[in-house]
Amino acid sequence: MRWLKSKKLWAAVAFVGIAVAGTQFALKRRAAKPPVQWETASVDRGRIVARVTATGILSALVTVQVGSQVSGSIQKLYADFNSPVKKGQIIAKIDPRLFQASLENARANYAQAKATLMKDQVQARFTERQSKRQGALVKDKLIAAADFDTAESAAGTSAAQVEADKANVQQARAILHQAEVNLELTSIVSPTDGVVISRNVDVGQTVAASLSAPIIFVIAEDLRKMQVDTSVAEADVGKLTAGMDATFVVDAYPGERFKGKVRQIRNAAQTVQNVVTYDAVIDVDNSELKLRPGMTANVNFVFANRDNVVRVPNAALRFRASPELLAALKIDTKKAKESEPGAQARTGGAGRPGAGGDNAPDRKTVWVLGGGVPRSTSIKTGTTDGTKTEVVEGALGEGDLVITDGTLTGGAKPAAGLLPGAPAPSRGGGGPRF
């Protein structure tokens, strides 16, 4: 009996040990991690605004550079920075003394030329009358023919001298007029109504106009209307059109957004370090005079605006499953994709069945997680804002969970890279990522 009780005791102990081991094994299996940990994002419905961003410089619509056509030292300045000026107003004065002396000299030369002309005209009339008398005498053979020829030659010479004197008078008159103009040009006047935005000289400074007109002032015609000259990349210039609305901000007013309208997109390309840009000119209303010439503007052009559309995160469009990831899930690569390019979307898209394909620019493959099982599906995309993309057609609806990243568990070492056409994997913490 004692032996029988000992045998039953050992059987009970063995049964308890087996039960405990089985329980621990079950708990370990339940606590074991799945072969792949997924990172997902939800498909939602909302608004997508597609924008083109660029930087530009504010400037006045009309900017006039006022220079000097004559050389000399600045005697006086009648305008300064930010001074409002009117058309014809004297804004600077060049020392006129040298030009006054030149004018007086030109007047004297002109008077002398006129006096010489008058003297030679008298001489010409005298020689002409003498030639006529000699002509009458030679007909009567009272004088020799040689004397008549001499008188006739003297009359012609006098007449020619008168013509030369007339030319000298005209030349002296032109020089006199030039001296008068140069004297007037010592007064620098504003060519337009506006505001002085730059002054480049000081009183006493000498300006030399022999080679090129020195710039004394820069005048903005009207600062209530300004423009922004933006540098738009060649990849984005096709999305812009004349008349398109634009908004921009400046560092001086970071909390305020200004509005404008595209006036023109200039065809002249600008290439800097092999980067080609085009100038999109934006008209801006500056009635409050907050904006100033030279400010840097960060511009947004809205070229597409879609409301109440199904949106998928762009990270899901970039994700591709590697062969190692599919092998860990025991998914047949050939059966991983659903054959539904061009299918009628649950989002209401009316695509043509069979149109396009996964290789088309607007056809993308995304992985959807349903019941813990991933599956791939093909969709047709539309407008994107850089973060989310519109789903035009495809078996993808609001609330679906799309895979944005996957991590193998259990220490598996996947092969480097993803399927062809996939971006480089992210190497964040927590294990290899795909």
In percent, how much of the chain has pLDDT > 90?
Answer: 54
Nearest alpha-carbon partner for 74 in 201, 227, 263, 214: 201
Amino acid identity, residue 185?
L
Q: Could you say which of 3.20.20.60, 3.60.20.10, 3.40.50.620, 2.40.420.20 is the CATH number of the domain covering 36-47+308-408?
A: 2.40.420.20
pLDDT at site 14: 59
SS3 content of the chain, % helix, strand, coil (to 5): 30, 35, 35
Checking 347-352 for CB contacts under 8 A at 24+ apart, the result is 347/309, 347/310, 347/391, 347/392, 347/393, 347/394, 347/396, 347/397, 347/398, 349/380, 349/391, 349/392, 349/393, 349/394, 350/393, 351/380, 351/392, 351/393
Q: Which helix (H) or strand (E) holds 123?
A: helix 97-139
Taking only the tens place, the pLDDT of each residue in 70-102 is 999 999 999 999 999 999 999 999 999 999 999
pLDDT at 339 over 50: no
Whether this model's pTM surpasses 0.85: no
Q: How far apart (Å, rounded) are the C-alpha atoms in residues 342 and 389? A: 17
Residue with token string 């493959």: 365
pLDDT at site 205: 92
pLDDT at site 34: 59
Q: What is the DSSP letter of 143?
A: S
- Mean pLDDT, residues 200-217: 88
Taking only the tens place, the pLDDT of each residue in 145-196 is 787 778 888 888 989 999 999 999 999 999 999 999 999 999 999 999 999 9
Nearest alpha-carbon partner for 392 in 359, 369, 361: 361
Q: Assign domain 98-173 to its CATH superfamily.
A: Helix hairpin bin (1.10.287.470)
Amino acid identity, residue 360?
A
pLDDT at 144 over 60: yes
pLDDT band, residue 332 (cuts 50/70/90): low
> Between residues 261 and 151, which one has the greater pLDDT?
261
How many CA atoms does the CB half-sphere of 190 hold within 13 Å?
Answer: 25
pLDDT at 301 over 80: yes
Report domain extents, the chain.
Answer: 36-47+308-408, 98-173
- 128 neighbors 115 (Cβ within 8 angstroms): no
Q: What is the mean pLDDT of the chain?
A: 82
Q: Which DSSP string corresponds to 89-103?
A: -EEEEE--HHHHHHH
Q: Kindly list the distances between the CA atom of residue 27 and the CA atoms of 108, 248, 309, in Å, as whole numbers in the listed order.
A: 122, 60, 45
Q: How far apart (Å, rounded) are the C-alpha atoms in residues 286 and 40? A: 47
Q: Which of 125-134, 253-262, 313-322, 405-414 has the highest mean pLDDT?
A: 253-262
Q: How far apart (Å, rounded) are the C-alpha atoms in residues 195 and 79? A: 10
Q: Which segment of 134-143, 228-237, 383-392 scores lowest on mean pLDDT?
A: 134-143
Q: How far apart (Å, rounded) are the C-alpha atoms in residues 271 and 378? A: 39
If 0-12 CB within 10 Å is exposed, 13-18 middle and 19+ buried, where does residue 155 land?
buried
pLDDT band, residue 213 (cuts 50/70/90): confident
pLDDT at 310 over 60: yes
Q: How far apart (Å, rounded) are the C-alpha atoms in residues 156 and 150? A: 10
- Provide φ and ψ at 27, rounded to 5°: -65, -40
Q: How far apart (Å, rounded) are the C-alpha atoms in residues 204 and 212? A: 20
pLDDT at 31 over 60: no
> Between residues 356 and 146, which one has the greater pLDDT?
146
The beta-strand segments (E) located in 43-179 are 44-60, 63-67, 72-77, 84-85, 90-94
